[in-house]
Amino acid sequence: MNTTAPIASSPPADPVSDAVLLDVNGIEVIYNHVILVLKGVSLRVREGRIVALLGANGAGKTTTLRAVSNLLRGERGEVTKGQIEYRGERIERLTPADLVRRGVVQVMEGRHCFAHLSIEENLLTGAYTQRLSRAELAAALERVYAYFPRLKQRRTSQAGYTSGGEQQMCAIGRALMANPRMILLDEPSMGLAPQIVEEIFGIVRDLNSRERVSFLLAEQNTHIALRYADDGYILENGRVMMEGRAADLATNEDVKEFYLGIASGERKSFRDTKFYRRRKRWLA
Ligand SMILES: Nc1ncnc2c1ncn2[C@@H]1O[C@H](COP(=O)(O)OP(=O)(O)OP(=O)(O)O)[C@@H](O)[C@H]1O
Ligand SMILES: [Mg+2]
């Protein structure tokens, strides 16, 4: 059953950046052999785009990213149906290190810096798959510092004692050290003050426009994600309930009501009858 509701008014895709980088096709994910979490998720990331993967707690955003970057096994999870292709190549059987070598790097939820290492040592760990010379490493560090001047200031500080925002920057900076084509970014806004969140999304946009790094970005913060993303998918209960250009999603009445809090009453579910009534109208 196709439960996706495409947004009809989406403009045609930009032909210049039309190539599909990541193609997730109908994946099902099961944890511990019994817990069915993703129930046929399909999504695409086109080259040079920022794609937001939105949804409430437990919707399956992190699971989707883990499926792509092959980090499910450590969580006793597996992809039991569907396919994942990166640049036309099936990637389900590759290791996370194989993926990093192909340019796909994940920044995990909760930042995960090595607390006892300095910021600079953390960044250097991101380059280990690259086999860089000393001069190349120095250039890679300078590139990260150009995007994150705060990290340069804090380069010798022990990561565990830096702020949450600096740790998030460190985690993204470390991913950048691997020279990625695509970054899977899990919940970058988590626990951070709005101003810092804005700063981090601004850097994501810079990386995207200057280096053409594509992003698949999981976020509960629909507001900010839709402002910075090109395209968006809304997951609910392991299914994509809506997809489209970010600008269209941001002005969509259902998204406004259910995810942007621009309506009275408590947050409801897309499964409410009202949603289905509207969805039928779109499909008519
Ligand atoms: N290792 C695991 N074992 C069993 N169930 C899991 C595991 N990891 C996640 N789940 C379950 O899968 C569902 C989706 O979780 P997931 O972490 O993908 O959601 P999410 O959209 O990232 O949520 P959040 O916004 O809270 O990060 C949840 O019901 C969760 O309890
Ligand atoms: Mg998550």
148-169 pLDDT per residue, tens: 999 999 999 999 999 999 999 9
**Is residue 224 a part of any domain in this protein?**
yes
CA–centroid distance, residue 111 to ligand 1 (Å): 17
Torsion, Cα 90 95 100 106, to 10 degrees, reads 90
CA–centroid distance, residue 52 to ligand 1 (Å): 17
**Is residue 283 a part of any domain in this protein?**
no
**Is residue 44 a part of any domain in this protein?**
no
Structure tokens at 93: 């059987």
Q: What distance separates the 2 farthest-apart alpha carbons in the chain?
A: 61
Ligand 1 atom 28 nearest Cα = 58
Asked whether residue 14 carries a pLDDT value surpassing 80, the answer given is: no
For residue range 23-68, list pLDDT tens digits in order.
999 999 999 999 999 999 999 999 999 999 999 999 999 999 999 9
SS3 43: strand
Which atom of ligand 1 approaches the CA of 75 most closely? 1
For residue range 198-247, list pLDDT tens digits in order.
999 999 999 999 999 999 999 999 999 999 999 999 999 999 999 999 99
Give the number of domains in the chain: 1
Name residues with Cβ closer than 5 Å to ligand 2, which is an ion: 61-62, 109
**Is residue 110 a part of any domain in this protein?**
yes
Q: Which of 32, 61, 189, 190 to mutate to test the pocket of ligand 1 (most atoms within 8 A of CB)?
A: 61
**Is residue 43 a part of any domain in this protein?**
no
Judge contact between 250 and 260, C-beta under 8 A: yes
How many helices (DSSP H) and strands (DSSP E) are in the chain?
11, 11
Structure tokens at 44: 């695409």
Pick the ligand that lies closest to the CA of residue 57: 1
**Is residue 25 a part of any domain in this protein?**
no
Task: Please say whether the dihedral angle defined by the alpha carbons of residues 152, 154, 156 and 162, taken in this order, is positive or negative.
Answer: negative
**Is residue 31 a part of any domain in this protein?**
no
> What CATH number is attached to the domain comprising 191?
3.40.50.300
CA–centroid distance, residue 54 to ligand 2 (Å): 10
35 Cβ closer than 6 Å to some ligand 1 atom: yes
pTM of the model: 0.87
Q: What is the pLDDT of residue 109?
A: 83
Distances (CA, A) of 226 to 11, 52, 69, 248, 249: 16, 7, 23, 9, 8
Give the integer Cα–Cα distance in Å for 199 and 195: 6
Residue 124 domain boundaries? 49-70+92-251
DSSP result, 178-206: T--SEEEEE-TTTT--HHHHHHHHHHHHH
Give the number of other Cβ atoms within 10 Å of residue 206's Cβ: 13
222 Cβ closer than 6 Å to some ligand 1 atom: no
- 253: pLDDT confidence band, cut at 50, 70 and 90? confident
**Is residue 143 a part of any domain in this protein?**
yes
Structure tokens at 19: 């190539």
